[in-house]
């Protein structure tokens, strides 16, 4: 009679799993012993190299239900751009959804603005002034980066 609760794993699978754990441990220990520093964040690298911002814009993203999203320049209070339903700006909406979710988790509303900054080294960063979270927009490719870069160039309109 066999025990219904016993699980039999193939010996080869157990050896492979053990080898994978040993490899990960050895690699991690080797990095520590060799004093190889972890990769620096873009924020720390810019700070260490004294990379200055070329231009910056403080923006607020206002969800206007069925009319879309209005992007307001905080300095002037004027509309910098609008994202209407059906417009191909899914990347901006996706990024902003993720940042809004982080704000909800911290109990922060949509009031505090975001800072969009272009750096001298060509990088483009969106920073949430409420949470301090920064998103390096160059990491998402030229087309997606261009969607945000256009907000730096957008002329203001009155509403």
Give residue-wise pLDDT tens across range 31-51.
888 887 777 778 778 878 888
Asked whether the predicted pLDDT for residue 29 surpasses 80, the reply is yes
All structural domains of the chain with their residue ranges: 9-38, 43-153
Model confidence pTM above 0.75: no
Length of the chain: 159
Chain segment 2-20, per-residue pLDDT in tens: 566 778 889 999 999 999 9
Question: What does the DSSP 8-state code read for residue 156?
Answer: P
Edge-first strand listing for the sheet containing 134-136:
79-83, 69-73, 53-63, 114-119, 124-128, 134-136
> What separation in angstroms does the CA of 159 have from each of 36, 54, 72, 145?
54, 28, 10, 27
Backbone angles phi, psi at 15, to 5 degrees: -65, -45
Query: Is 48 in a helix, a strand, or coil?
Result: helix
Chain segment 84-102, per-residue pLDDT in tens: 776 666 788 888 888 888 8
């Amino acid at each position: 009679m066999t025990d219904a609760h016993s699980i039999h794993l193939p010996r080869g699978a157990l050896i492979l799993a053990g080898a994978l754990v040993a490899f990960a441990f050895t690699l991690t220990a080797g990095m520590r012993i060799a004093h190889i520093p972890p990769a620096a964040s873009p924020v720390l690298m810019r700070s260490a190299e004294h990379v200055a911002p070329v231009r910056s814009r403080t923006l607020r993203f206002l969800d206007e239900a069925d009319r879309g999203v209005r992007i307001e320049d905080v300095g002037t209070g004027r509309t910098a751009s609008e994202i209407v339903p059906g417009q191909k700006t899914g990347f901006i909406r996706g990024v902003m959804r993720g940042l809004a979710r982080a704000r909800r988790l911290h109990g922060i509303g949509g009031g505090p603005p975001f800072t969009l900054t272009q750096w001298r080294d060509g990088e483009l960063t969106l920073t949430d002034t409420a949470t301090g979270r920064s998103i390096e927009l160059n990491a998402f490719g030229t087309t997606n980066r261009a969607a945000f870069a256009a907000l730096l160039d957008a002329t203001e309109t009155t509403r």
